[in-house]
Amino acid sequence: MYQKPTNLRADVARLIDDGYEVSIEHNHLIMCNVPYVTSAREIKRGTLISPLTGSFSEVARPSDHVIMFSGDYPCDAHGKQLESIRNATRNENVAGQWAINHRFSSKPKRGYYLDYYEKMHTYASILANQAAALDPECTARTFRVIGSTDDSPFQYFDNASGRVGISEVTQKLTKRSIAIVGLGGTGSYVLDYASKTPVDEIHLFDGDIFEQHTAFRCPGAATIEEIMGRPPKVGFLADKYGKMHRGIVPHGEYITEENVAQLEGFDMVFLCIDANEAKVPIVQALESFDSKFIDVGIGVNLVRNGLTATLRTTTSTPENRQHVHDRKRIPMKAAPGNNEYARNIQIAELNAINAGFAIVQWKQECGFYRDTEHELFSLFRVADNHILNEDAA
């Protein structure tokens, strides 16, 4: 027996109050221990599953009237299959662990269910009523409250993946830990995008202070009071994004040769630092750790009263390192000439694009996005909107 969750939306809370055994797992609403009758007129218990739309504060109408079922095909009290609700019989996996055997369809006269209470209660009643004809004591209302057994890293459930049917793909990003070295312009956007993924841990490494110019390079909007407080950059960002994602760990220090061992063991490390020469001991250490890492860089120059810019993204894995050194895909010496970016120029859109390229390459490496070319290096030139992709794995 688990304690009833206290922050559930009204329709889910009503199911629990009525005694149904429900939980929210991987963006789906799960109802367990629903009795049904088999073709042999035996009573078994199965599971009803529906993608969950809406949020904690919004009781949204279900996206459709179809329900998924884990169990044998249900029958009436005489052992005859319930053809009136047949939709499809197929085996698939959803919501992390649930093996689905059938999909049922029972559309209300109005054409849709008002909320998830009506939808789940209706299907549970269709199945359980037949079982009750054989055993009047048989019911789906077990009053065993299990709440959410989801080990999600989010503070609230991700209803975006479930509503569009990509929860199974999203699972490829789970059970991972990442590190972001440098939380300036690009690094802060990497955090913003990563915080929307179900990775277990996001570690932030930066010894800088969150100042006024930082606010113009980061996503979101800091208040004057927050800026005047001059908080540590990683602490400020960990607090902001911790409201959405658990497991964000701030490390208020720069990564150097002395402490680079802290980067060992992560599934992916994002290098988002401006000082090229500072990358030398980090790259060497990550290679010795057999770590995967993605390095980003931006070059901006003032030419004839306009800015030119290039955005670079380089991926390095234990299986593919040579392009980093043979083709010098990660600059590790101080950049020659003028680079306006090094002067904290405010180009948040370029930071966001560079971070987006890095996140896409990471998601490709995880199998979330398809990757037909397996290229480990990209260079985006803003002036002619050209993307160069090279160094195929």
- For 258-290, the pLDDT digits (tens) are 999 999 999 999 999 988 899 999 999 999 999
Q: Which of 75-89, 219-233, 299-313 reaches the highest mean pLDDT?
A: 219-233
Confidence tier at 199 by pLDDT (50, 70, 90)? very high
Q: What value does the mean pLDDT of the chain take?
A: 89
Alpha carbons 309 and 322: distance in angstroms, whole number: 26
Least confident of 131-135, 146-150, 297-301, 311-315: 146-150
* pLDDT beyond 50 at 381: yes
CB atoms within 10 A of CB 67: 25
Q: What is the pLDDT of residue 16?
A: 86
Q: What is the pLDDT of residue 95?
A: 62
Kindly list the distances between the CA atom of residue 245 and the CA atoms of 146, 193, 198, 236, 242, in Å, as whole numbers in the listed order.
22, 11, 8, 14, 5
CB atoms within 10 A of CB 196: 16
Q: What is the pLDDT of residue 292?
A: 97
Query: Which two three-digit tokens encode residue 390?
Result: 């090279």
* pTM (2 d.p.): 0.70
Least confident of 25-29, 119-123, 319-323: 25-29
End-to-end CA distance of the chain: 51
pLDDT in tens, 317-356: 999 999 999 999 999 987 665 565 555 566 899 999 999 9
Q: What is the pLDDT of residue 3?
A: 44
Closest CA to 296 of 193, 201, 181: 181
Cβ neighbours of residue 46 closer than 8 Å, sequence gap 6 or more: 34, 36, 69, 70, 71, 72, 74, 127
